[in-house]
Amino acid sequence: MQRQLVEILACPLCKAPLTLAVTAEDAVEVLSGTLTCTACGEAFPITEGIPNLLPPDLRRAMEQEASRSGGH
């Protein structure tokens, strides 16, 4: 994810702005980190450069399904 993308993203739950916390990046993009809502506090992970903005319940359901199917 490119850093400037955070300027146009909004929380999918309450539409407030997001803040970016980076845990790994290269010269071009953020590879891992977290986008956190400034209003409701919900956190959205960035994994392998891809922000996951699914609501928490859907994100958990997809993670559970991926673990049951071996990650596929």
Strands (E), the chain: 18-25, 30-37, 43-47, 50-51
Angstrom distances, CA of residue 9 to CA of 2, 33, 34, 70: 12, 15, 13, 31
- Mean pLDDT, the chain cut into blocks of 10 residues (72 residues total): 96 97 96 98 96 92 85 60
